[in-house]
Structure 1
Amino acid sequence: MKKLFLCCFALTMVLGCSNEKAGQVDEAEGFTLLQRDATTLEASYRSGGSSVRAMVTESSPNIIEVTYDFGQPIIGFRIDYNQGVGRFMPNGALDAAQARLINGLAEGLGKIVPEQDTQRTRIEDTAMRQTSFMQIVPVGEALSPYEYVAERGWTHISCTCGQQNIGGYTRQAGRGCSCNGGDNGCKGRCGQGCGITSTPACVGSTAYTQDCAKHDYGLGSFAAASDDYSFASNNCSCSGVGTCY
């Protein structure tokens, strides 16, 4: 009888431990959409035991709060479309693994958010634009908070690929995977570039500007392109999924 009791006790402990372990797995690998409505978009991307959770919410009319929570750091934005003012609010540096999480998050968002910006809600468009901006935030560098203002403006460049003035420099810029200057294509787009063999959907924006082109060529800072990413109007159309644009 004692032996039977011990066996039952051991089995109970094993099942209990198994259930406890299963309960600890609260996020699936890959991209997960957690919430999506008129005022909120929440999503996560998990890989290799690490994750990032993005929360985009309209705290008041035309004011969008955006956070990217890695546990450590947490990077936030406040985009005020009424005043045309944005704030970048980091509390630490990004590492290479976290940058890869952002790439996965951007890819996942690109599959659920309408491709054409005219079909997106403000929440969806902000989510795509700021996640695209997160892809150019420097890795392994101390990050400081700053404010950027839309009224300081941006300068659009031509959508047609060619040698263009990108603000004191002449470089190849414009739509197309072949418009690469020896690197990723779509030089000058305020969003993810496109490679020769990898042609992503239209994520981020289809705004092509001088500051974004300067950043693409290492001639300008990511901070200088902040207002372009958040506020610049889309001057170049998207030609569809899986195409160079």
Structure 2
Amino acid sequence: MKTASLCGITMALTLALGCSNGPEELAEEAEGFALLRHDAATLEATYHSGGTSVRALLVESAPNVVEVTYDFGDPVIGFRVDYNQGEGHFMPSGSPLDAAQSRLISGLAEGIAKAVPEQDTARSRVEDAAVRQTTFMQIVPVGEALTPYRYVAERGWVHISCTCGSQNIGGYTRQAGRGCSCTGGSGQGCKGRCGQGCGITSTPNCVGSTAYTQDCAKHDYGLGSFAAASDDYSFASNNCSCSGVGSCY
């Protein structure tokens, strides 16, 4: 499989918005989140902090097919998510993701979450993909060489209970479920959530999906790879409702 660049991930992106020259274009922009374009078929946004930037570009190139690019200049990380076929492609290009670049994703995810409807049923296909794939980017490993791979929804996922408690997460028993205090004794709460976690003292809005699955829980505990959770992040149905703005989920 050929790896992706922002100009080559698909012809659809080029025709829709043209080529980006990467973070150099953003050098004079203000710190923080900026929504550059947002319509039924396109979402483009940037997040700039401390001299580093990421540009997210999502285009629905065909009905229910979304091309996604996160351009750090180097690396460029792309996805192609085909909801018709139930398959996705992870397409990294360039150097490993570094810690400063990874930190940009949280700000980007929060900005996108505020720019789209909170409830997933009210989102367009591009909006939902923007939320899900950006939160997936939060678990892409830092400092590791990334290779392309394909993932498919037909392999399925196993939902876990929304109620925090000791659960079977696929060969292991760990605490998982909703709640900022559902940490399993360490790290962030909301263990098993296929999306941004939550801290013990913070009460964030719903960011990402409200799907809780075994593979996402295994990843949260370091028992499974980020790649194994790819289909859960992109395709798993939301089995746990959000309890509202300003509350733990």
Q: Does 1:230 align with 2:234?
A: yes
* TM-score when normalising by structure 2: 0.87
C-alpha distance 24-77 of structure 1, shift in aligned 2 (>3 A): closer
Higher Cα Rg: structure 1 or 2?
1
- Match of residue 136 from structure 1: 139
- Match of residue 75 from structure 1: 77
Runs of 4+ aligned structure 1 residues displaced above 6 Å come to none
Displacement of 1:199: 2.3
| Structure (1 or 2) with the greater helix fraction | 1
Q: Distance in 2 between matches of 1:77 and 1:167?
A: 27
Across the aligned residues of Structure 1 and Structure 2, the Cα RMSD in angstroms comes to 1.2
Q: Distance in 2 between matches of 1:79 and 1:230?
A: 8
User: Unpaired segments of 5 or more residues in structure 1?
Assistant: 1-22
Partner SS for 1:207: strand
Displacement of 1:165: 0.3
Partner SS for 2:207: coil
Displacement of 1:168: 0.2
Does the 8 Å contact 1:202/1:238 carry over to 2?
yes
Q: Distance in 2 between matches of 1:134 and 1:111?
A: 18
C-alpha distance 176-224 of structure 1, shift in aligned 2 (>3 A): same
Q: Share of identical aligned residues, percent?
A: 80
Greater shift in the superposed pair: 226-235 or 90-99: 90-99
**Aligned pairs (5 A) from 1:16-165:** 26-91=28-93, 92-165=95-168
Does the 8 Å contact 1:115/1:240 carry over to 2?
no
**Aligned pairs (5 A) from 1:184-195:** 184-195=188-199
Displacement of 1:204: 1.1
Opposite residue 89 of structure 2, the aligned amino acid is R
Q: Distance in 1 between matches of 2:68 and 2:127?
A: 11
Opposite residue 49 of structure 1, the aligned amino acid is G
User: Unpaired segments of 5 or more residues in structure 2?
Assistant: 1-24
Displacement of 1:163: 0.4
What are the Cα deviations for residues 216-237 of structure 1, in whole angstroms up to 9, with x where unaligned? 0000000000000000000000
Displacement of 1:109: 1.0
Opposite residue 45 of structure 1, the aligned amino acid is Y
What are the Cα deviations for residues 124-169 of structure 1, in whole angstroms up to 9, with x where unaligned? 1100000000000000001000000000000000001110000000
Does the 8 Å contact 2:179/2:190 carry over to 1?
yes
What are the Cα deviations for residues 82-135 of structure 1, in whole angstroms up to 9, with x where unaligned? 100000000131000001111110111121121111111111110000000000
Length, aligned pairs only: 223
* TM-score when normalising by structure 1: 0.89
Greater shift in the superposed pair: 146-155 or 98-107: 98-107
Q: Distance in 1 between matches of 2:69 and 2:152?
A: 19
